[in-house]
Amino acid sequence: MAGHMDKKNLVDKKEKIAVILFNLGGPDSLKAVKPFLFNLFYDPAIIALNNPWRWLVAKVLSRKRAPIAREIYKKIGNKSPILDQTKAQAVALENNLNAESDRDYCCFVSMRYWHPFSCNVAKKVKNFAPNRMVLLPLYPHYSITTTGSSLIDWAKNAKTAGLDTSYRVVRDYPEDAGFIEAHVRMIQAEIKKIGSLDEYRILYSAHGLPEKVIEAGDPYRQHTENTCRLIQEQLGHPDHIVCFQSRVGPLKWIEPYTDDEIRRVGEEGKSLIIVPVSFVSEHSETLVELDMEYRDIAEKSGVKNYIRIAAIGCHPAYISTLAKLTKDILK
């Protein structure tokens, strides 16, 4: 009995750390597609208009885009896989952090545009009663449209929940060694299967942004290019290019576009390896856009072989780097 009490007292004395993992979120049913899109377009970091105009534009765009998006999600089980995969990352990270630790870490998942929303997660964190918090976006490359938006939303909802615990923010990690290692190992595993890269071009495909966002000073493009440069330094393959996918709407988006680069690979009679370098979990942008739509473009364009590298997910090197980032920022 005394031994049990000693262990309980030891646990009670441990510093409690809440680690909040942020990501985009995704619809968990076909019915959720339209309200998910409304939340996305209603974000002032996405549509920079004052109300009521932003509300009206979000209503129009979500209504217009919903039928197209539903068809996309029907191809991957009628929902986004992002929540399940992010929960798996949270479990893996929590286990890593608590292994032989003098702290009690608890990981929470907070999504920007669909459940679990930050307003609900903040209440759960408050109930956990942490001594300190770490805000850990699962966006390796900073952008106001992703990390910035998530942190602004969290700050507002944490205040509403009365959560005033001190916190530290991991802003970005485009050049972190473990993040780079996870990509390199996964690419090398595919290279080992094909034997030689002589006839291959590597396309590093990142989610695009409107050009005006980058022109306003957003570091996203530079962060993405820094990641790809470090991966390339380890791979040593000269035939590669950084490109951008998923553009929508009438605005000019940052180039080169991934679909155009795929066509160019076909015109040159080569094969390609495509790396979803800005995605740490599978999305409709990888499972449908890259695996289906862009594969079809590749076949029609004469690409000899099309290999898509999986998102890094729970790769041990990536989970280890998230753990290191968390511990380092608490020092």
CB 107 within 8 A of CB 133: no
Amino acid type, 263: R
Looking at the structure, do residues 36 and 121 belong to the same domain, yes or no? yes
Looking at the structure, do residues 38 and 155 belong to the same domain, yes or no? yes
Looking at the structure, do residues 72 and 122 belong to the same domain, yes or no? yes
Q: In this structure, how many other beta carbons lie within 10 angstroms of the beta carbon of residue 60?
A: 11
Task: Report pTM.
Answer: 0.93
Say what the pLDDT of residue 2 is: 42
Looking at the structure, do residues 165 and 17 belong to the same domain, yes or no? yes
Say what the pLDDT of residue 11 is: 53
Looking at the structure, do residues 74 and 35 belong to the same domain, yes or no? yes
- Flag whether pLDDT at 193 surpasses 80: yes
Looking at the structure, do residues 105 and 141 belong to the same domain, yes or no? yes
Query: What pLDDT digit, counting tens, does each position of 259-312 carry?
Result: 999 999 999 999 999 999 999 999 999 999 999 999 999 999 999 999 999 999
Half-sphere exposure of 151 (CA within 13 A, CB side): 20
- Flag whether pLDDT at 149 surpasses 70: yes
CB 190 within 8 A of CB 273: yes
- Flag whether pLDDT at 141 surpasses 90: yes
CA nearest 184: which of 240, 238, 235? 235
If one counts the domains in the chain, the total is 2
Half-sphere exposure of 93 (CA within 13 A, CB side): 29
pLDDT band at 251 (very low <50, low <70, confident <90, very high): confident
Looking at the structure, do residues 130 and 202 belong to the same domain, yes or no? no
- Flag whether pLDDT at 239 surpasses 50: yes
Looking at the structure, do residues 187 and 152 belong to the same domain, yes or no? no
Say what the pLDDT of residue 6 is: 46
Distance of CA 133 to the CA centre of its chain: 20
Whole-number Å distance between alpha carbons of 2 and 249: 66
Looking at the structure, do residues 167 and 200 belong to the same domain, yes or no? no
Say what the pLDDT of residue 319 is: 98
Whole-number Å distance between alpha carbons of 273 and 203: 6
Print the domain residue range for 157: 2-173+317-329
Whole-number Å distance between alpha carbons of 247 and 100: 45
Looking at the structure, do residues 62 and 84 belong to the same domain, yes or no? yes
Helix (H, G, I), strand (E, B) or coil at 89: helix
Say what the pLDDT of residue 244 is: 98
Query: What pLDDT digit, counting tens, does each position of 2-41 carry?
Result: 444 444 455 568 899 999 999 999 999 999 999 999 999 9
Say what the pLDDT of residue 309 is: 98
Specify the CATH number for the domain of residue 146: 3.40.50.1400
Q: Are strands 240-245 and 306-308 parallel, antiparallel or unpaired?
A: unpaired
Looking at the structure, do residues 154 and 282 belong to the same domain, yes or no? no
Q: In this structure, how many other beta carbons lie within 10 angstroms of the beta carbon of residue 25?
A: 24
CA nearest 292: which of 64, 76, 30, 78? 76
Looking at the structure, do residues 267 and 252 belong to the same domain, yes or no? yes
Whole-number Å distance between alpha carbons of 177 and 186: 14
Say what the pLDDT of residue 3 is: 47
CB 135 within 8 A of CB 171: no
Instruction: Give mean pLDDT, residues 110-121.
Output: 98
